[in-house]
A and B are shown apart, each in its own frame.
Chain A
Amino acid sequence: MAKKYINIDKIEKTVPYLLPDSYFDTLQYQVFFKITKGISLEKKYTNEEIFALPVQYFETSVNDILSKTSEQLLLQDIPKLQAINVADTYFDELPLKIQTRIYKSKPDTYTIPQLLWKPALATIALVFTLSLSYYIYLQYTPTNYLSGIETNDIISFLENADNETYNTIAMEIPSHSKISHYTATNVFDIEKNEINAENLDIELLEDDI
């Protein structure tokens, strides 16, 4: 058998808990007693004795309430009006204004040549950018950088350089086999550098001497 669905709206709203008789009638005195400690519950204090009230509060409160009721405006009491003005002919002219702007603006539809040109131009631009980047990269490799320096300048630099500079150069460019080979201690080592005596120009050597 299907279980009957009970809608919450059908359940009566009651407080299911038990409460002593006249609990709320005496609660304020109970609390007051606990606050003041020692005042007997036998004496029933009036509300005015317990709570501070502005002078003549009840004499004026009715008037206050009445005046507020009469003044209190609710949104439903206010008529729904279009409080803002607009020119009489505005809405007659608006469609034309909008259509004029649409015709003036760039079309969203493209012809076939336009559709073909757009990706082609984008590809050309991309290839150009990549080529330029690669060219710039090549220009700044250590080999190219050194090749741009005059041999005389390098010789002059090496003549004036100390051991520490040689070591630094060797450490800076470790991947370059020839340079890394010529450390400060072996750069003038003739045997190691494999200078072939047979290939030397004897006349030039004599001149040097």
Chain B
Amino acid sequence: MEDKEILQKFSEPDTRNAAFNQLVRKYQKMVYWHIRKMVIDHDDADDLTQDTFIKAYKSLDNFRGDAKIYTWLYRIATNECLNFLNKKRKKFLLPIYDVENELLQKIDTAINPEIDQVQVKLQKALLKLPEKQRLVFNMKYYDDLKYDDISEILGTSVGALKASYHLAVKKIEEYINNH
């Protein structure tokens, strides 16, 4: 179902739930993997994915038709991730290093044990990046988003995003080759 059709059906009370169901089915994997790569733990990712869609449900009526649903969902999911990680930091009074360490510990159990060691290194290298740079890298490298879309999601200029991605690649390659 096209996004326009989903929005149209969502605006009508009789087809509202069916339309929302379609929306979740269409974008759940995209939202889940975006969150999972940021918070690593499945249970956290599950909660945040649900929260993202619930927020979307509550504000879908006000959604501007000219924007794309998937960038809007990315934006909500990104905010959920950043708030979650910030809350975690404040709750345990942890400096950035410790949250990073916690995620590093989780990754060992989260990663498929049969996978190549290079992939493990890549995931660990990603966790060494600052959160926003990690978001940029994930969206560009894994999700193949255009810089314009990432710019809309993160509210950062395309130039800054390109520089950030380039730096991220360098840092990751450096980590992979030195560890």
| B163 is an interface residue with CB less than 8 A from chain A | no
Is A75 a contact of B29 with CB atoms below 8 Å?
Answer: no
Contact code string B138-155 (vs A, CB < 8 Å = 1, else 0): 000110000000000000
Kindly state whether residue A19 has any CB partner on chain B within 8 Å: no
Q: Is B94 an interface residue (CB 8 A)?
A: no
Given contacts A82-B33, A99-B17, A108-B58, contact A94 B24 (CB under 8 A): yes
Q: How far is the CB of A108 from chain B (nearest CB, A)?
A: 6
A7 to B: closest C-beta gap in Å: 20
Chain A residues with CB under 8 A of B49:
94
Does chain B have a CB within 8 A of A3?
Answer: no
- B64 interface contact, C-beta 8 A: no
A78 within 8 A of B: yes
* Given A101-B54, A102-B54, also A81-B17 (CB < 8 A): no
* Complex interface: stretch among B66-74, B78-86, B113-121, B128-136: B113-121
Question: In which size bucket is the chain A interface?
Answer: 20 to 34
How many Å lie between the Cα of A108 and that of B62 in the bound state?
A: 13
Question: Interface code A92-114, partner B: CB below 8 Å = 1, 0 otherwise?
Answer: 00110111011001001000000
**Chain B, 20-45, contact with A by CB distance < 8 Å: what is the 0/1 string?**
11001100110011001100101000
Q: How far is the CB of B58 from chain A (nearest CB, A)?
A: 6
> At the interface, yes or no: B53 with Cβ under 8 Å from chain A?
yes
Interface presence of A117 (CB below 8 A): no
The interface size of chain B toward A, counting residues with CB under 8 Å, comes to 37
Report which of A81, A86, A91 forms a contact with B119, defined as CB distance below 8 A.
Answer: A81
The answer to whether the Cβ of A122 comes within 8 Å of any Cβ in the partner chain is no
The reply to whether B173 and A75 contact each other, CB–CB distance below 8 Å, is yes
Complex contact A91–B122 (CB within 8 A) = no
Q: Judge whether A98 and B24 touch: CB under 8 Å.
A: yes
Report Cα–Cα, A74/B174, bound state, in Å. Answer: 9
- CB of B117, distance to nearest CB on chain A (Å): 11
Q: How would residues 72 to 96 of chain A score, 1 for a CB under 8 Å from any chain B CB and 0 otherwise?
A: 1111001011111110001100110
CB within 8 A of B173: which of A74, A85, A98?
Answer: A74
Asked if A78 contacts B17 (CB within 8 A), the reply is: no
Q: Is the CB of B142 within 8 A of A80?
A: yes
Which among A78, A81, A83, A91 is the interface contact of B29 at CB below 8 angstroms? A91
Give every chain B residue within 8 A of A78 (Cβ-Cβ).
Answer: 118-119, 122, 176
B110 pairs with A73, CB closer than 8 A: no
The answer to the question of A71 belonging to the interface, with a C-beta cut-off of 8 Å to chain B, is yes
Are B32 and A86 interface neighbours, CB within 8 A?
A: yes
Residue of A with least CB distance to B142: A80
- Docked CA distance A84–B39 (Å): 12
CB <8 Å contact, A84 and B111: yes
- What chain B residues lie within 8 Å of A85 (beta carbons)? 110-112
Across-interface contacts of A71 in B (CB, < 8 A)? 177
Q: Nearest Cβ in chain B — how far from A49, in angstroms?
A: 35
Report which A residues bind B (CB closer than 8 A).
71-75, 78, 80-86, 90-91, 94-95, 97-99, 101-102, 105, 108
Interface, chain B (partner A; CB < 8 A) = 17, 20-21, 24-25, 28-29, 32-33, 36-37, 40, 42, 46, 49-50, 53-54, 57-58, 110-112, 115-116, 118-120, 122-123, 141-142, 169, 172-173, 176-177
